């Protein structure tokens, strides 16, 4: 009866927690502090969970349980990021509806998660593909569409405010930044208008202007289009200019797509990083992604031409070092500028670089290429004529797609100038630019630069900007690398847009008629015309009278209109899900003000670092937007973030000869020419802990080796070679947590995953050490049991001071460890405690009750069982976490009374813990120090066994 039967214990308590709603969070806990612990929710893939997935969940669960013991009202929910590509790919191949696949996968995930004893509040589960959920994703989209960013108040406001401004005062009421927006993309007649002119614009003209301000807008943007596959590909789906799957050619194609104006928030996204507790590397990569650089915008007039070329530079101090301009091949002025005699060469160059993929261009940085346009720009300060070149080292996507080339100060400009034999004026005093450009800003003086000569970098920048502003050819500015985010996907399995088109203009559907539910289609592929999969839906038109989705054939462009065919990207649903957990069943709002106010932001967020510039940036953007518009009260979603490391797999390789006729054991490969041997993955399930392969199983799995000659080790075994790789189905190195739970139990799995090493570090999975952790749990169990029959036995006697010391030492360490997220060392601490208490044969209630609570966050099942055996009726989850008492830890203090020569007493503060005997021996042994000791009471005495090293004070 009383062996540690983990299977039945774990099942019992998992059922108990589910039935009693032990971990339900309250939205109205008066007077109780709240704590919100969140995991990055998973995409439910068909492969199920492997042992790497739970690592972060175990850590967050320990913390959540710990906080409950500490008296917090803890919100610890879980859900699914259930829109996504794999389910759609599977649908394309099999015709099975992605929603069915997704539901099956979720069921499997849930089963696996339940076995590990997580304290999730499942009442609050959310799924991004659920219409009740994406209804609010659509709602947020509409709010973004109905908003603009006011750079004066530095926040998003309703678009109706902007319309009111235009109606009252026209575009003149806008500040400089906002006016610049008007100048950028609009036809000239719309760039400046007064109130009457605004009133006179057609609705289309008004909309064209407004869409320059809306936080989500339709724009022509470039995509990677693969005609053969009939779909758009992401950058990482393209390898060497052809599609990863099938190797079909990919072209860049402009398509009308929704974009998110995240650039409006660039500065605030940067500033916000200062106030959140995130790992520095992750903040660093967000900073880099946002890529703020300060400099100047300079406009060059063009000889014999109307327009201007605008460039961005971080070095306005080098303005007199400019010897030519370079445009990106895609620059809009290229065609207009090029003189007839250079037309042919320029066109050839532009076509050639258009055919090179972006990746190719980036990879190939060494080759210098370019072509002269025949046109000249006028230097705004000196009036000198500067040749205008085209070069593909200038990127269309950064800055203005044009640079002022300063060969003496920039290595790329220098190389370009050398290659095409362009002048390289030196504007740095006493610095040689014979062989390379001088790119440093600091210890140099500007020379040969008119009024800038003699100034240093900072002075020259200010003076140059002032001069440019005075002559109307530039101004100081800040440039960001961050681009607006394309928000349309030509896919089926994503949120439909709440948008229909009236005369080609997008219209939002009234939020009260949401959700717009994903329609049925006959296949999950694009249409023959290249429309996205939603183009196949029959029921896909909007009836503006009945306010519902109707059949496409009813479209009459009077009351029934076509709906948007794109869907939203994966990050749409994941950018706000953490708010939905607060009030998951709300039918009238995405969450109630009361719930949002109570829970605020996520106190602790645990997940992988791969989301640094995706999910974690977009979420911050949406949260700041929702904050601006007054829907929520916080402007950062995640106060503290921890990246758990990845658990890697240990792949196993079998060596075979190239013709497959021989299999060679790992220890014998040195006898063979390495050239002719190949390694192939084999399933780790067929390999023992000593790397021995079960050949029978292997041959059954791979019958092609049925007749192969097997070269074994001397002892007749066949060994594989191990290598650490990412865990993946295709590498046959996946370890399923279910198997571990079957063999050792969930508590062992939880402790072992923590024991493997620091949470934030990546580490290979190896089952080798798991028996140690399992043995510890058995030892713990035995502490509460006695005798040969191992019956439950806890003594009511007072424990010894040694036992109390062990307990309080453990309490102190574990409390400190949890607060620092060093879960690995607290597992060791538990093991030490169990060893010491076993040695002391200490089984008193006063020791064993706190011990059970202490371990409950880590190994909740066994803790609950022991707690119940000790006669408690309520779950251990509600018990206060033990606090240590210093009085049991006397030896940890560093103050010792010392007497020698029979009479004198001193109180010494020591640099390390030593016994009284050791200190006295040291004092007596060191005659040199006795005089010093007699002179007063030293502050600090450095003692190592046997001698005193130093006395301070």
Question: Which residues in 573-612 contact RNA (CB under 7 A)?
Answer: 609, 612
Whose Cβ is closer to RNA: residue 438's or residue 576's? 438
Q: Would you count residue 291 as binding RNA (CB under 7 A)?
A: yes
Q: How far is the CB of 118 from RNA (least distance, A)?
A: 23
What is the sign of the dihedral through the CA atoms of 28, 34, 40 and 45?
negative
Which position among 76, 124, 155, 315 is part of the footprint of RNA (CB under 7 A)?
A: 315
Q: Interaction with RNA in 409-448: which residues (CB under 7 A)?
A: 410, 412
Q: Would you count residue 449 as binding RNA (CB under 7 A)?
A: no
| C-alpha pair distances (Å), 171 with each of 164, 197, 206 | 11, 10, 12
Q: Would you count residue 30 as binding RNA (CB under 7 A)?
A: no
What is the sign of the dihedral through the CA atoms of 493, 497, 500 and 504?
negative
Pairing of strands 73-75, 34-39: parallel
What is the sign of the dihedral through the CA atoms of 664, 669, 673 and 676?
positive
Q: How far is the CB of 686 from RNA (least distance, A)?
A: 20
Pull the structure tokens for residue 580. 């939905």
Q: How far is the CB of 912 from RNA (least distance, A)?
A: 3
Q: How far is the CB of 850 from RNA (least distance, A)?
A: 20
Pull the structure tokens for residue 398. 């950064």
Q: Would you count residue 5 as binding RNA (CB under 7 A)?
A: no
Which position among 758, 900, 920, 930 is part of the footprint of RNA (CB under 7 A)?
A: 758
Q: Interaction with RNA in 512-571: which residues (CB under 7 A)?
A: none
Q: Interaction with RNA in 914-953: which residues (CB under 7 A)?
A: 914, 918, 940, 942, 944-945, 949-950, 952
User: Three-class SS of residue 894?
Assistant: coil
Which position among 1, 674, 714, 768 is part of the footprint of RNA (CB under 7 A)?
A: 768
User: Three-class SS of residue 899?
Assistant: strand
Q: How far is the CB of 315 from RNA (least distance, A)?
A: 5
Q: How far apart are CA 146 and CA 371, in angstroms?
A: 45
Burial class (CB in 10 A: 0-12, 13-18, 19+), 508: middle
Size of the site for RNA (CB under 7 A): 72
In the 3-class helix/strand/coil scheme, how is 782-839 assigned residue by residue?
A: HHCEECCCCEECCECCCCCHHHHHHHHHHHHHHHHHHHCCCHHHHHHHHHHHHHHHHH
Q: Would you count residue 253 as binding RNA (CB under 7 A)?
A: no
Q: How far is the CB of 401 from RNA (least distance, A)?
A: 6
Whose Cβ is closer to RNA: residue 313's or residue 843's? 313
Whose Cβ is closer to RNA: residue 98's or residue 380's? 380
Whose Cβ is closer to RNA: residue 95's or residue 769's? 769
Buried b (16+ CB within 10 A) or exposed e, 537-553: bebbbbbeeeeebbebe
Q: Would you count residue 789 as binding RNA (CB under 7 A)?
A: no
CA neighbor of 37 nearest in space, from 69, 68, 65, 75: 75
Whose Cβ is closer to RNA: residue 164's or residue 949's? 949
Q: Would you count residue 288 as binding RNA (CB under 7 A)?
A: yes
Which position among 32, 382, 771, 904 is part of the footprint of RNA (CB under 7 A)?
A: 771
Q: Would you count residue 111 as binding RNA (CB under 7 A)?
A: no
Q: How far apart are CA 215 and CA 624, in angstroms?
A: 12
Instruction: Name the segment binding RNA (CB under 7 A); options: 85-93, 343-351, 680-688, 750-758.
Output: 750-758
The helix (H) or strand (E) run that includes residue 657 is strand 647-657
Q: Would you count residue 900 as binding RNA (CB under 7 A)?
A: no
Backbone angles phi, psi at 726, to 5 degrees: -60, 145
CB 216 within 8 A of CB 618: no
Q: Would you count residue 773 as binding RNA (CB under 7 A)?
A: yes
CB 574 within 8 A of CB 555: no
Q: Interaction with RNA in 824-863: which residues (CB under 7 A)?
A: 824-825, 828, 831-832, 835, 838-839
Burial class (CB in 10 A: 0-12, 13-18, 19+), 742: exposed
> Which residues share a beta bridge with 843?
none
Which position among 722, 779, 845, 872 is part of the footprint of RNA (CB under 7 A)?
A: 779
Q: How far is the CB of 599 from RNA (least distance, A)?
A: 31
Q: Would you count residue 478 as binding RNA (CB under 7 A)?
A: no
Pairing of strands 308-313, 293-302: antiparallel
Instruction: Name the segment binding RNA (CB under 7 A); options: 252-260, 313-321, 592-600, 868-876.
Output: 313-321
Instruction: Name the segment binding RNA (CB under 7 A); options: 93-101, 105-113, 286-294, 587-595.
Output: 286-294
CA neighbor of 375 nearest in space, from 421, 325, 416: 325
Pull the structure tokens for residue 24. 């339900």
Q: Would you count residue 786 as binding RNA (CB under 7 A)?
A: no
Q: How far is the CB of 259 from RNA (least distance, A)?
A: 18
> Peptide bond preceding 515: is omega within 30 degrees of 0, i.e. cis?
yes
Q: Would you count residue 364 as binding RNA (CB under 7 A)?
A: yes
- Count of residues in the chain: 953
Q: How far apart are CA 122 and CA 584, in angstroms?
A: 11
| Alpha-carbon dihedral 871, 875, 878, 879, rounded to 10 degrees | 30
Whose Cβ is closer to RNA: residue 833's or residue 879's? 833
Q: DSSP letter string over 134-196?
A: HHHHHHHHHHHHTEEEETTTTEEEEHHHHHHHHHHHGGGGS-HHHHHHHHHHS-GGGSS--HH
Site string for RNA, 368-407 (x = CB under 7 A): ------------------------xxxx-xxx-x-xx-x-
Pull the structure tokens for residue 254. 């402009």
Q: Would you count residue 822 as binding RNA (CB under 7 A)?
A: yes
Which position among 763, 845, 872, 947 is part of the footprint of RNA (CB under 7 A)?
A: 763
Q: How far apart are CA 702 and CA 714, in angstroms?
A: 24
Q: How far is the CB of 828 from RNA (least distance, A)?
A: 4
Which position among 418, 757, 909, 920 is part of the footprint of RNA (CB under 7 A)?
A: 757
Whose Cβ is closer to RNA: residue 205's or residue 828's? 828
Instruction: Name the segment binding RNA (CB under 7 A); options: 241-249, 376-384, 621-629, 771-779.
Output: 771-779
CB 817 within 8 A of CB 826: yes
What DSSP character marks residue 559? Answer: S
Instruction: Name the segment binding RNA (CB under 7 A); options: 10-18, 427-435, 757-765, 862-870.
Output: 757-765
Whose Cβ is closer to RNA: residue 519's or residue 758's? 758
Q: How far is the CB of 880 from RNA (least distance, A)?
A: 25
Q: How far is the CB of 723 from RNA (least distance, A)?
A: 12
Whose Cβ is closer to RNA: residue 461's or residue 550's? 461
Give the position of tokens 């009750």: 849
Pull the structure tokens for residue 3. 């062996």
Whose Cβ is closer to RNA: residue 448's or residue 838's? 838
Q: How far is the CB of 608 from RNA (least distance, A)?
A: 10
Which position among 123, 630, 775, 916 is part of the footprint of RNA (CB under 7 A)?
A: 775
Q: How far is the CB of 692 from RNA (least distance, A)?
A: 12
Instruction: Name the segment binding RNA (CB under 7 A); options: 154-162, 277-285, 623-631, 873-881.
Output: 277-285
Backbone angles phi, psi at 253, to 5 degrees: -140, 140
Q: How far apart are CA 826 and CA 813, in angstroms?
A: 7
Q: Would you count residue 281 as binding RNA (CB under 7 A)?
A: yes
Q: How far is the CB of 342 from RNA (least distance, A)?
A: 21
Q: How far apart are CA 406 and CA 379, in angstroms?
A: 13
Q: How far is the CB of 443 from RNA (least distance, A)?
A: 17
Q: Would you count residue 285 as binding RNA (CB under 7 A)?
A: yes
Q: How far is the CB of 904 from RNA (least distance, A)?
A: 24
Q: Interaction with RNA in 323-352: which residues (CB under 7 A)?
A: 328
């Amino acid at each position: 009866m009383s062996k540690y039967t983990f299977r039945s214990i774990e099942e019992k308590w998992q059922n108990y927690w589910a039935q009693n709603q032990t971990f339900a969070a309250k939205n109205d806990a008066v007077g109780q502090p709240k704590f919100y612990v969140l995991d990055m929710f998973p995409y439910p893939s068909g492969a199920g969970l492997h042992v790497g997935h739970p690592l972060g969940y175990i850590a967050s669960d320990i913390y959540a349980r710990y906080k409950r013991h500490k008296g917090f009202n803890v919100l610890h929910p879980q859900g699914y990021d259930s829109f996504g590509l794999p389910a759609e790919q599977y649908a394309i191949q099999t015709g099975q509806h992605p929603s069915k696949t997704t539901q099956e996968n979720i069921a499997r995930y849930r089963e696996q998660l339940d076995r590990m004893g997580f304290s999730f509040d499942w009442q609050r589960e959310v799924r991004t593909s659920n219409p009740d959920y994406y209804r609010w994703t659509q709602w947020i989209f509409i709010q973004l569409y109905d908003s603009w960013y006011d750079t004066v108040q530095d926040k998003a406001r309703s678009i109706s405010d902007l319309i009111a401004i235009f109606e009252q005062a026209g575009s003149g009421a806008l500040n400089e930044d906002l006016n610049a927006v008007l100048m950028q993309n609009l036809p000239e007649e719309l760039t400046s208008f007064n109130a009457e002119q605004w009133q006179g614009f057609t609705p289309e003209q008004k909309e064209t202007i407004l869409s320059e301000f809306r936080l989500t807008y339709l724009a022509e943007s470039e995509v990677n289009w693969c005609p053969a596959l009939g779909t758009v590909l992401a950058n990482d789906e393209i390898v060497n200019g052809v599609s990863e799957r099938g190797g079909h050619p990919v072209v860049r194609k402009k398509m009308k797509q929704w974009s998110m104006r995240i650039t409006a928030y660039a500065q605030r996204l940067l500033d916000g990083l200062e106030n959140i507790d995130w790992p520095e590397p992750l903040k660093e990569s967000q900073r880099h992604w946002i890529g703020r650089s300060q400099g100047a915008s300079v406009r060059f007039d063009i000889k014999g031409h109307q327009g201007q070329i605008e460039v961005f530079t971080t070095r306005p101090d080098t303005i007199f070092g400019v010897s030519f301009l370079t445009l990106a091949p895609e620059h809009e002025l290229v065609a207009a500028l090029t003189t007839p005699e250079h037309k042919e060469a320029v066109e050839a160059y532009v076509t050639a670089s258009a055919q090179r993929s972006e990746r190719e261009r980036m990879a190939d940085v060494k080759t210098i290429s370019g072509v002269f346009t025949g046109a000249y720009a006028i230097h705004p300060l000196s009036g000198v004529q500067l040749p205008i070149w085209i070069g593909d080292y200038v990127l269309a996507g950064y800055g203005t797609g044009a640079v002022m080339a300063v060969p003496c100060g920039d290595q790329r400009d220098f190389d370009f100038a050398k290659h095409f034999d362009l002048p390289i004026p030196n504007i740095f005093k006493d610095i040689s630019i014979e062989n390379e450009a001088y790119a440093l800003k600091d210890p140099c003086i500007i020379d040969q630069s008119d009024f800038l000569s003699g100034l240093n970098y900072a002075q020259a920048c200010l003076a140059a900007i002032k001069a440019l502003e005075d002559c109307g050819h530039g101004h100081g500015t800040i440039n960001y690398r961050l681009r607006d985010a394309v928000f349309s996907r030509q896919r089926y399995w994503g949120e439909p847009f709440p948008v229909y088109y009236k005369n080609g203009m997008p219209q939002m559907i009234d939020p009260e008629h949401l959700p717009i539910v994903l329609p049925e289609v006959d296949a999950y592929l694009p249409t023959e015309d290249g429309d996205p999969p939603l183009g196949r839906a029959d029921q896909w038109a909007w009836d503006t009278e009945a306010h519902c989705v109707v059949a496409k054939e009813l479209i009459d462009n009077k009351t029934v209109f076509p709906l948007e065919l794109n869907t939203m990207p994966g990050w749409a649903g994941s950018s706000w899900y953490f708010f939905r957990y607060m009030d998951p069943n709300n039918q009238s709002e995405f969450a109630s003000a009361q719930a949002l106010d109570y829970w605020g932001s996520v106190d602790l967020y645990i997940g992988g670092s791969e989301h640094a510039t995706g999910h974690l940036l977009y979420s911050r953007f949406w949260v700041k937007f929702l904050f601006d518009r007054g829907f929520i009260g916080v402007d950062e979603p995640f106060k503290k973030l921890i990246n758990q490391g990845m658990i890697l797999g240990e792949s196993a390789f079998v060596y075979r000869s190239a013709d497959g006729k021989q299999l060679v054991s790992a220890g014998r490969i040195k006898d063979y020419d390495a050239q002719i041997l190949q390694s192939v993955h084999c399933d780790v399930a067929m390999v023992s802990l000593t790397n021995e392969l079960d050949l029978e199983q292997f041959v059954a799995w791979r019958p092609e080796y049925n007749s192969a000659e097997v070269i074994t080790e001397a002892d007749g075994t066949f060994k594989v070679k191990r290598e650490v790789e990412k865990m993946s189905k295709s590498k046959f190195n996946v370890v399923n947590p279910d198997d571990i739970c079957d063999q050792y139990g969930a508590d062992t799995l939880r402790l072992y995953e923590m024991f493997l090493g620091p949470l934030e570090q990546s580490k290979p999975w190896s089952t080798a050490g798991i028996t140690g952790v399992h043995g510890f749990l058995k030892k713990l169990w035995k502490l509460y049991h006695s005798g040969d029959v191992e019956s439950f036995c806890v003594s009511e006697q007072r424990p010894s001071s040694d036992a109390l010391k062990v307990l309080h030492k453990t309490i102190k360490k574990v409390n400190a460890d949890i607060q620092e997220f060093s879960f690995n060392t607290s597992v060791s601490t538990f093991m030490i405690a169990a060893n010491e208490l076993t040695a002391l044969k200490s089984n008193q209630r006063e020791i064993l009750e706190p011990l059970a609570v202490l371990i409950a966050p880590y190994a909740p099942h066994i803790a609950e069982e022991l707690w119940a055996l000790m006669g408690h009726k309520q779950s251990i989850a509600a018990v206060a976490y033990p606090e240590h008492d210093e009085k049991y830890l006397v030896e940890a203090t560093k103050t010792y009374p010392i007497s020698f020569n029979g009479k004198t007493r001193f109180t010494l503060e020591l640099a390390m813990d030593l016994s009284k005997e050791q200190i006295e021996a040291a004092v007596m042994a060191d005659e040199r120090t006795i005089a010093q000791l007699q002179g007063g009471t030293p502050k600090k005495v450095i003692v190592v066994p046997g001698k005193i090293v130093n006395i301070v004070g």
